[in-house]
Amino acid sequence: MRILHILECAGGVERYLEMLAPRLKKEGIEQSIVCSHSVNLDKLKDSADACYVTDMRQTFNPLAVMKIIKQVRKAIIASHPDIVYCHSSFAGVFGRLAAIGTHCKVVYNPHGWAFNMRSASAHKLMAFRIMERILAHVTDRIVCISEAERESATYNNVAPEDKLALIPNGIDIDAVRTAIPVKRSELDIADDAFVVGMVGRLSAQKAPDVFIRAAEMIREKIPNSAFIIVGDGEQREEIEEYSRVHGLNLVVTGWTDKPYSYLKDFDVAMLLSRWEGFGLAIVEYMAAEKNVVAARTDAIPSLVDDGVDGFLVDVDNAEQAADKVLWLHTHPTEAIDMRQKALQKVMMKYDINRVVNQHIDMFNKLIPVGGQNKTSL
């Protein structure tokens, strides 16, 4: 069986495929990758027979879209896959349109529905909703990474139930737990500092602005606190300037291939996203045995049992987030208990091997043994 993965964005989607692809290869599945220039192929190229780097980007310009579709279609024809697997919304547009008429089966994983974005206009959200409904007609399976995502697809009439496959996200638990921490001295952070961090893009979705406002409140009560953001993005300059003006001890790592090593330095981990298809970082936090403070939005409440293995706060509420961090700081015994419960949950429910097995089952149903497709124009 041959799979062609198509991905446009870096970050969580990239990490997802870095875990999935090598395990699919071990199961004898041949793979190729089509991606944008923003994707780091270092951890993916060993799992792929071929990699095609294109001009994929988030654009609504008709000429640019047509050019990208043409590039992606060339890659499909060249790699002659049985299944085209599109990861995220824009890759889903380009890949599904490019695959029309090739006789490939098409799988689409939005990794969070674009029409659930909180920062987009009503007109844009409606456009995303209509686009998903139309493209569902040329899609054989739509992977929903959480029950909330499947419910959202049903509520918005994206596709019939038999096209929806629920495959909750998972992580490489061993990779998280065996990661070697970055020395705090390398980050100019004292060994006895109370460190609060987040892993994610510096973008409106991940709400780094809320994180940094909460950081200011935390610093007022915990003078030896320090803060780490593992990631990069368009809001980095704004966040770093706010930190300088308010005298915060903040480290922004930029893109890194060792996020777990930085995560190991956290005492408390936050994910204050405004919308979230799953919230993979939360599962990583739990596997690393870090106390979690997260926004109460979309799929996140299905991951965090509020007050039991983490805390939930309202979206855009920096004060609530700071208060929960301060509570954890002053209740160390209870904090340990919450971390242990969170780790037990992750070990039981979110192992990447379960994700791999569910994917293989789905692929085999689409392409029975001996039923490989012949990709054609």
> Residue 318: which CATH number?
3.40.50.2000
**Residue 370 CA: distances (Å) to CA of 84, 260, 357, 366, 374:** 18, 41, 20, 12, 12
pTM, whole model, 2 decimals? 0.81
Looking at the fold, whether 76 and 200 belong to one and the same domain comes out as no
Per the domain annotation, does 272 fall within a domain?
A: yes
371 pLDDT tier (thresholds 50, 70, 90): low
DSSP per-residue letters across 196-229: EEEES-SSTTT-HHHHHHHHHHHHHH-TTEEEEE
Q: Kindly state whether residues 96 and 75 are assigned to the same domain.
A: yes
Residue 374 above 80 pLDDT?
Answer: no
**218 shares a domain with 195:** yes
Residues 107 and 241 in one domain: no
My answer on whether 81 and 114 are in the same domain is yes
Range of the domain at 258: 173-349
- The predicted-structure confidence for 97-123, as pLDDT tens digits, reads as follows 999 999 999 999 999 888 887 767 888
Check whether residue 179 and residue 268 sit in a common domain.
yes
| Pair (359, 345) in one structural domain | no
**Residues 183, 148 share a domain:** no
Same domain, 295 and 358: no
Q: Do 91 and 107 fall into the same domain?
A: yes
Domain-embedded: residue 334: yes
pLDDT tens digits for range 212-239:
999 999 999 999 999 999 999 999 999 9
Cα(259)–Cα(231) distance, rounded to whole angstroms? 8
Task: Specify burial of residue 106 (Cβ count, 10 A radius: 0-12, 13-18, 19+).
Answer: buried
Cβ count near 119 (within 10 Å) = 11
- Assigned domain for 281 exists: yes
Question: How is residue 278 annotated by DSSP?
Answer: S
Q: How many domains does the chain have?
A: 2
Quote the pLDDT of residue 369: 66
* Residue 245 counted as domain residue: yes
Q: Do 214 and 356 belong together in one domain?
A: no
Share of the chain above pLDDT 70, in %: 97
Give 376's pLDDT tier (boundaries 50, 70, 90).
very low
The pLDDT, as a whole number, for residue 345 is: 95
Do 105 and 194 fall into the same domain? no
* Predicted local confidence at residue 117, as pLDDT: 79
